Structure 1
Amino acid sequence: MELSRVVDTSTAVAATRSRKAKTAELRSLLDAAAAEEIPTVVAWLSGVIPQGRLGIGWRSLSALAPSPASEASLTVDAVDEAFTGLAGAHGPGSVTLRQQLLGDLFGAATESEQGFLRRLMTGELRQGALAGVMVDAIASASGQPLDLVRRAHMLTGSLPETASLAVHGGADALADVGLRVGRAVAPMLATPAESLADAVTTLGPDLVVDFKLDGARVQVHRRDDDVSVYTRSLRDITSAVPDLVAVVRELPCRTVILDGETLSLDADGRPRPFQDTMSRFGSAGDLDGDPSGLLRPFFFDCLHLDGVDLIDRPLRERLDALTSLAPELRIPSVVNPTVEQAEQHLDAALAAGHEGVMVKSLDGPYAAGRRGRAWQKVKPVHTFDLVVLGAEWGSGRRTGFLSNLHLGARDPDGGPPIMVGKTFKGLTDKLLQWQTDEFPRHESHRDSYTVYLHPRIVVEIELDGVQRSSRYPGGVALRFARVVRYRPDKTAGEADSIETIRGLLP
């Protein structure tokens, strides 16, 4: 199959909001692909490179300047082979080899293919080919029951593997997929609650309210002395977290799969900043006996215990199993609380330095890989008035519109606004059009990707918090920022200051 066919499908999927239309486009592509090409095509259109890290950053890609090919000639196999070469380039001469491979690849690509490859290789391929849509397309193209395909994806955590099973093995292969100790499962996700009272009322009376820790999601598997630890994205980090491995090896069981959070605590038992936890994933073996740097696991679910799969059992049974195994590792929780008791638990979580709480139905099974109403998250929301410093041109459905905003906080010393992050979330079609019409009137300069503005426009931003960051000059970065509205009633001099933003740091 030619790469151009994949690129055309990516463009078509990005251009529509219709789930039905997206599925039809993807199915048409998978129907045309050879069986051995399907896992690769599925991975790419899900924004994933099967080879993993290629050792290529944005700087290397932006330095490429080959003229685009006038005619499409690249194939899926050729690109996949080039990615394999990039991923395997190590040691002396690897920089030169990568440059040669990149040059050859992009020199053979048309302009649209170059754009697709850049976005794929930098993780910027946002086209709306979400997992649910791709699962629908795999089921349709393979002629297999949707429920079987969906469950196989949940239990393998891999769209390419699911596609391969559906195409090569059919219904029998899909049905044979089960929970396997040592193979990561797509994690169950939560939806934001309207309010704590609403979540308790909706899910009650049989529910549990957990602390929502400001840590990193982990899934832990153990078979005898073999322990594996996976991140939320199913990345294997076992070798980087020997402290977690040691804790799980001490549990009184032979086989287990646990879901939870990990974080590092300070001397007072309060959570350290989120970045401290994330930085430990790369330095777990270099603690020099300092117990304050240890990662501490806290679990809120048990999917398997000593040969018994619990994933389809109600949460109450899974929690009973977890409590029988490791009560000291349970996330702090209250069962069947009143609204007042749930609010007290939320206050306790916030006072302890955590994000908020999770409200969960005790009747629900573990919906792997899905965001269901049976789990709802409640945490405070912060809003700030920030200055728009620039906007990047959008891609996919947003092509031709100024989209991703560069945001700055006011310098209390009177200097120019200090950049604290970017966001494209919360922008309606109406706002996108307004930005595209209005921003050039305030333009200071531009490059091929961004229109930079004089600091005049103020926007209200909602965010979950901030974190320390060396990426931005203010030393902080916004977490999960979303546009609420523009504030034409405010000037840049009335925007929130960098000190106010820093005040959210733990």
Structure 2
Amino acid sequence: MKHFAQLFTSLDETNKTNEKVKILKEYLACVSDTDKMHMLALFTGRNPKRQINSTQFRTWAIEASNIPAWLFEESYHVVGDLAETVALLLPDNENSSNKTLTEWIGEINALNNQPEVEKQHWLTQSWAMLDAQERFVFNKILTGSFRVGVSQNLVTKALADLTGLDAATLTHRLMGNWAPQTYQFEDLTHTDTALEDVSRPYPFFLAYPVQETSTVQKSPEALQSLLGDAQEWQAEWKWDGIRAQLIKRNGDIFIWSRGEDLATDKFPELHPFLHALPDGTVIDGEILSFRNGLPLPFAILQTRIGRKTLTKKILEESPVALIAYDCLEYAGEDIRYKTQTDRRQLLEGLQTVTPYPEVFRISELISFNSWEELTTIREQSRAMVAEGIMLKRKDAHYQVGRRRGDWWKWKIDPLSVDAVMIYAQKGHGRRADLYTDYTFAVWDGDKLVPFAKAYSGLTDTEINKVDAFVKRNTLEKFGPVRTVKPELVFEIGFEGINKSTRHKSGVALRFPRILRWRHDKPKEEADTIETLKALLGE
């Protein structure tokens, strides 16, 4: 754990890419192969199963630190991170353990089905073996909240430098359903392609947002400057569903989400068409709720996400289909090196002969002759229940991760309303001492009705100003939440709006965020609940 805690600290202390790669390589070169795999698992989001819940963790931490519960909670609100709070409150230790990362995670996994008294004893003894920094990292792993400011690209670059394998191969081998207990370092670094896992998906190719380029305008002239000749591009609608890869290999089928969740059992409607595909086929696409040949809003699909059991009612209310974007493997061959046009032809060939065209759909190509024409077509996005337009260079290969140049997403402008901030709460991490999480309201007659929370969109300077306002204008306190004087107005943007019986306003927003601080608008001129309902009607 000493080496791993030092790795975490060293990475946290620099924002230089080359320095991070150097730190990763030094760690990988000095630890065992099993520690390498446990480190890679943690850095790719594969935390061990949580064995101690939050209530137990807090209760036992309060006992071990020998302080009142109220003082623990106040400390937590100041620090903003439970793992760090416990690490700071526990007394310093003179002794230190030499257990490896592998040994510690083995002990965590061994807690499964152990009685509470045994878990508490083990946790207390473990804290007594670690210094403050080791305890912090240990707590992060134990609570399932381990995060590190290093992209998977940097990890694979360090691995590639160390092993001599190319980064694309390593990225592919780190995909899928693997665990460090069974996936060995030699499995990761072998040269025999016959040993590849048949269930493993390919790394997803992600589009770059047009809006994040230096070309802020969205005019035809700006697109011409950014992308060149319109005839070199194909355009498709950008759908709002679950990005997925669907695999048929060796007679077995697999459905992987972009978050690397194996979701085969979640979409039984797709199984017949998958079984009908030729062996050695991998398709990239979007899973959406569909009815009567039309896509439904994401909120409909959301009703079945996370459900352990798919009832007949859920399947009837949220039937799904696949809109296929791309073909990544054909007749057992990785065809990502082929051009976009060639891959599209193979995909169309598969879809043409399917006996299940209602669930195996293909992403429609938008016909356009100029950027001016496509700009006009894009305005129809909401009517199509789409988020905007995807632009793909016709000669593009299928790449790994987010790459600027060949795939672009040109989303429509968000819906927006002007709202009043009424509640504020402190953030987490480096913003743990600042009020950065806000609740917003619109007018319903002479009352303000809360309808959304948002915590992104402001600059650091603006956050500091809002924080100062909250501290000067707090009206009530409810634990960490502060009711503030309703005075500040912000423009809130969001991608979609749906009815909701769980919210007092009667609506729920998709991806709300702050677009700008409306210094020019008094609270009385903020929007009303009728404004939201009108957007809902649209």
User: Normalised by the size of structure 2, how large is the TM-score?
Assistant: 0.77
What is residue 244 of structure 1 aligned with on the other side? 270
Contact map agreement 2:451 2:503 (CA 8 A) in 1: yes
Q: Which residue of 2 aligns with 1:54?
A: 50
**Structure 1 contact 219–260 (Cα < 8 Å) conserved:** yes
Alpha-carbon distance, 1:117 to partner: 5.1
Distance 1:50 1:23 in 2: 22
Once the two structures are superposed, what CA deviation does each residue of 1:342-393 show, in whole Å capped at 9, x if it has no partner? 2454344421222221111111111133343311112222233333421323
Matched ranges for 1:44-443 at <5 A: 44-46=42-44, 48-51=45-48, 53-54=49-50, 61-62=57-58, 65=62, 66-67=64-65, 68-71=90-93, 73=97, 75-85=100-110, 88-89=112-113, 112=133, 115-116=136-137, 119=140, 125=146, 127-140=148-161, 142=162, 144=164, 148-154=166-172, 156-157=174-175, 168=186, 173=190, 176=193, 181-194=198-211, 195=218, 197=220, 198-199=222-223, 202=227, 204-223=230-249, 225-251=251-277, 253-267=278-292, 269-281=293-305, 282=307, 285-287=310-312, 293-327=318-352, 328=357, 329-334=361-366, 337-382=369-414, 383-388=416-421, 389-395=423-429, 398-399=430-431, 401-402=433-434, 404-423=436-455, 425-443=456-474
Distance 1:445 1:7 in 2: 40
Superposition deviation, residue 330 in structure 1: 0.7
CA distance 1:479–1:289, change in 2 (3 Å): closer
Distance 2:481 2:448 in 1: 19
Instruction: Say if 1:150 and 1:101 are closer, same or farther in 2 by CA, change over 3 A.
Output: farther
What amino acid is the match of 1:131?
Q
Unaligned runs of 5+ in 2: 66-89, 212-217
1:219 touches 1:230 (CA, 8 Å); kept in 2?
Answer: yes
The structure with the largest alpha-carbon Rg is: 2
Report how far residue 319 of structure 1 moved.
Answer: 0.4
Cα 1:434–1:199 shift into 2, 3 Å: same
Q: How far apart, CA to CA, are the structure 2 residues paired with 1:26 and 1:226? A: 37
Once the two structures are TM-superposed, the CA of residue 120 in structure 1 deviates from its matched residue by: 5.0
Identity of aligned residues (%): 22
Pair 1:184–1:97, CA change in 2 (3 A): farther
Q: In the aligned structure 2, how far is the partner of 1:492 from the partner of 1:177?
A: 66
Query: Separation in 2 of the partners of 1:404 and 1:109?
Result: 33
- Residue identity opposite 2:320 in structure 1: L
- Taking the TM superposition and a 5 Å limit, the aligned residue runs for 1:17-32 are 17-32=15-30
Of 130-139 and 64-73, the range deviating more from structure 2: 64-73
Distance across 2 between alignment mates of 1:14 and 1:377 = 32
Q: Quick check: 116-125 or 205-214, which moved more?
A: 116-125
- For the 8 Å contact 2:219–2:375, the answer to whether it is kept is yes
Task: Give the secondary-structure state (helix, strand or coil) at the position aligned to 2:338.
Answer: coil
Contact 2:285 2:323 in 1 (8 A): yes
Where 1:133 maps in the other structure, the secondary structure is helix
CA shift, 1:165, in A, is: 9.4
Tell me the SS of whatever aligns to 2:386.
coil
Closer, same or farther: CA 449–266 of 1 in aligned 2, 3 Å? same
Deviations, residues 410-460 of structure 1 (Å, cap 9, x unaligned): 24144454152232x344343344444443223346688666644333333
The answer as to whether partners of 2:25 and 2:159 remain within 8 angstroms in 1 is: yes
Shift of the 159–220 alpha-carbon distance from structure 1 to 2, 3 Å rule, reads closer
Secondary structure of the 1:36 match is: helix
Whole-Å separation in 2 of the counterparts to 1:386 and 1:98: 47
Measure, in 1, the Cα distance between the counterparts of 2:315 and 2:176: 37
Relative to structure 1, the CA distance from residue 291 to residue 400 in structure 2 (aligned partners, 3 Å threshold; closer, same or farther) is closer
Alpha carbons of 1:116 and 1:493: their partners in 2 closer, same or farther (altered >3 Å)? farther
2:34 counterpart SS class: coil
Aligned length, in residue pairs: 488
Select 2:496's aligned residue among 457, 465, 471.
465
SS of the residue 1:322 aligns to? helix
Residues 1:70 and 1:377: Cα distance change in structure 2 (over 3 Å): same
Secondary structure of residue in 1 paired with 2:419: strand
Distance 2:535 2:141 in 1: 34
Out of 464, 487, 501, the residue aligned to residue 518 of structure 2 is 487
The one-letter amino acid of 1:80's match is I
Task: Report the alpha carbon displacement of residue 36 of structure 1 after superposing the two structures with TM.
Answer: 1.3
1:184–1:356 CA distance, 2 compared to 1 (3 A): same
Question: Does the C-alpha gap of structure 1 residues 421 and 70 become closer, same or farther in structure 2, counting only changes over 3 Å?
Answer: same
Paired residues of 1:257 and 1:303 also in contact (CA < 8 A) = yes
RMSD: 3.9
Whether contact under 8 Å (2:420, 2:490) holds in the other structure is yes
What SS does the corresponding residue of 1:317 show, helix, strand or coil?
Answer: helix
Checking the alignment, whether the CA contact within 8 Å between 1:139 and 1:166 is kept in structure 2 is no
8 Å CA contact 1:303–1:310 kept in 2: the answer is: yes
Deviates more, 1:382-391 or 1:187-196: 382-391
Aligned amino acid, residue 220 of structure 1: L
TM value normalised by structure 1: 0.81
